[in-house]
Structure 1
Amino acid sequence: MPAVVALLLVVAPAAASADPGAPVAPVVLAANTLPVVIANLQAWVMGILGAIATFFGVLGGVYRVTAGGDPTRVEQANGYLKNALFGYGLAVLAPILLEIVKGIVGG
């Protein structure tokens, strides 16, 4: 109990002496500016697209090697490899697409 009283005696004068007319600091709702958010989004999109494209490329390569001459398996492997190339293309175009978005929203 004496510790609580001592704490109140230490804290209360500081709160009582605060200037009620002092301006309040503005509240910032956004942690980053729009260009920073778009740059972070660009990095994430490129990373995710690159990872997915790499997965499909490896999967297509494994299917192609293990096809054993079966035309349906080779065609399936080619489809995976085409998807991987499409994903890499999107990853390369991600900065351009995000620049278009930035131009639309006014960043």
Structure 2
Amino acid sequence: MVTIGTTAVVLIALPSAAYADPGGPMVLAANSLPVVIANLQNWIMGILAAVATLFLVLAGVYWATAGGDPAQVDKAKGALKNALIGYGLAVLAPILLQVVQGIVGG
């Protein structure tokens, strides 16, 4: 019990370890705006392409399992349309990010 109390008093009285200077130059981890936008572009294109591919596969499954059911064929056509929109956005992502970069002044 005394050891715990002594340790607490020492840590409260001597908080210098929490404010220790590392001794070296401080380096920020943030990248410049063009690097951040390029990384964002790669992520957005990858995510959009993955989601579009998922919708394309779903459209194929819906169409193959429709069996002539008009509601299921319409569902497949909707999934195919969503896949095409996703691929279109993935292709346009670099252009849209260039516009954003121009707006923010990067």
TM over 0.5: yes
**Which protein is bigger by CA-based radius of gyration?**
1
1:67 paired residue number: 66
CA–CA distance in structure 1, aligned partners of residues 25 and 99 of structure 2: 32
1:80 paired residue number: 79
**Normalised TM-score (structure 2):** 0.74
Q: Give the aligned residue type for 2:37.
A: I
- Runs of 4+ displaced beyond 6 Å: none
Within 5 Å, give how 1:23-42 maps onto structure 2: 27-42=26-41
**Normalised TM-score (structure 1):** 0.73
Say if 2:44 is the partner of 1:49: no
Secondary structure (helix, strand or coil) at the match of 1:69 reads coil
Where does structure 1 lack aligned partners over 5 or more consecutive residues? 1-23
CA–CA distance in structure 1, aligned partners of residues 25 and 101 of structure 2: 26
CA positional deviation for 1:29: 3.8
CA positional deviation for 1:30: 4.8
CA positional deviation for 1:26: 7.0
Q: Give the aligned residue type for 2:52.
A: A
Query: Number of aligned pairs?
Result: 84
2:13 paired residue number: none
